[in-house]
Amino acid sequence: MPAFNPPSAARRASFLFIHALLIPAGFALAAIASHATGFDERVSALSFDAAAHVFPARSSIVLEVIGHRLAQSAIIGLWLTLLATALAVTLHDRQLTMHATLWATVVAMVLGPAIVVLLKGMNSLHCPWDLKRFGGYADFTGSWFVPVEHAGHCFPSGHAAGGFSLIAISFAGIAAGHRRLRTIGMAAAIVAGAAFSAVRVAQGAHFLSHNLWSAAIDWCAAALVFASLLAPRGRE
C-alpha cells in the first residue's frame, strides 16, 4: 500500500462533507423513505411465496453457503489479512505514514460493522421472516433501547455492513493518493454491499432499509476514521 500523502485543508473538508455527511445522509434518507412508503414490504414481497408462507430463497443452499457464509468469510479473511499486514509492517518497518494508512484501513473496516452489531441488540425491529405479514410470529414493533431478550437482532443488516465496509479500501486510496486503489475500493464496496443486501432481502432476513442504514453507518464511520489521517500537518 502506498505511503500516506497529506492533502490540503480544503480537500480534507471536501472529503468529510462528501463521505461523512452527504453520502451517508443520502443512504439514510433513502432508508427512511423506503420504510415510510411501504417500499420495504413491497420489495420483500417479491421474494415471498404467499401460498406457502415462506421465503423460498431462505432454504437455498447456494445462496446460504455462497451468498451468505462464504461471502461473509471472505470479508473476514480480507480483514484478517490486512490486520496481519499492519502488524508485520509495524514490527519490521519504521515508515510511520504507511503504518497509519494500514491501521486506519483495519479500524475503518471493522468499526461500521461493530456499530451495526451493537445496534442490533438495542432495538425490537424484527427480520421480515419473523413478521406475521411474512409467515412469522411477530407483530411489527420499532422500539429502541429494549432489554436484550426483547431485541429483534435484525436491524441494521450485519451482512450488508460487511460488504459496505470495503469502502475503507477506497478511503485508503484517497489517503495514499492512489487513484486506482480508490476506484477499486469504491467499486468493491458498492458491488459487495449491493450483492450482500440482495441475498439477504431475497432470503427474508432483512428489509431494504436495513441494508441502506448499514451503508450509511459504514460510510460515515470509515470516513471519520480517515479524517484524522487526512488532517494537514504543518504549514499549508
pLDDT digits (tens, 9 = 90+) for 179-226: 999 999 999 999 999 999 999 999 999 999 999 999 999 999 999 999
Find the mean pLDDT for residues 2-23.
Answer: 77
Q: Quick one: cell of 234?
A: 504543518
* Residue 137 CA: distances (Å) to CA of 100, 115, 132, 224: 48, 27, 5, 39
| Res 86 pLDDT > 70 | yes
| Res 29 pLDDT > 60 | yes
Residues 6+ apart with CB under 8 A from 229: 4, 100, 101, 104, 175
Which amino acid, residue 26? G
**Residue 73 and residue 231: Cα distance in Å, rounded?**
33
Residue identified by cell 471536501 is 14
**Residue 186 and residue 17: Cα distance in Å, rounded?**
17
| Res 3 pLDDT > 80 | no
Model pTM?
A: 0.91
* Residue 99 CA: distances (Å) to CA of 2, 30, 182: 10, 36, 18
pLDDT in tens, 94-104: 656 678 899 99
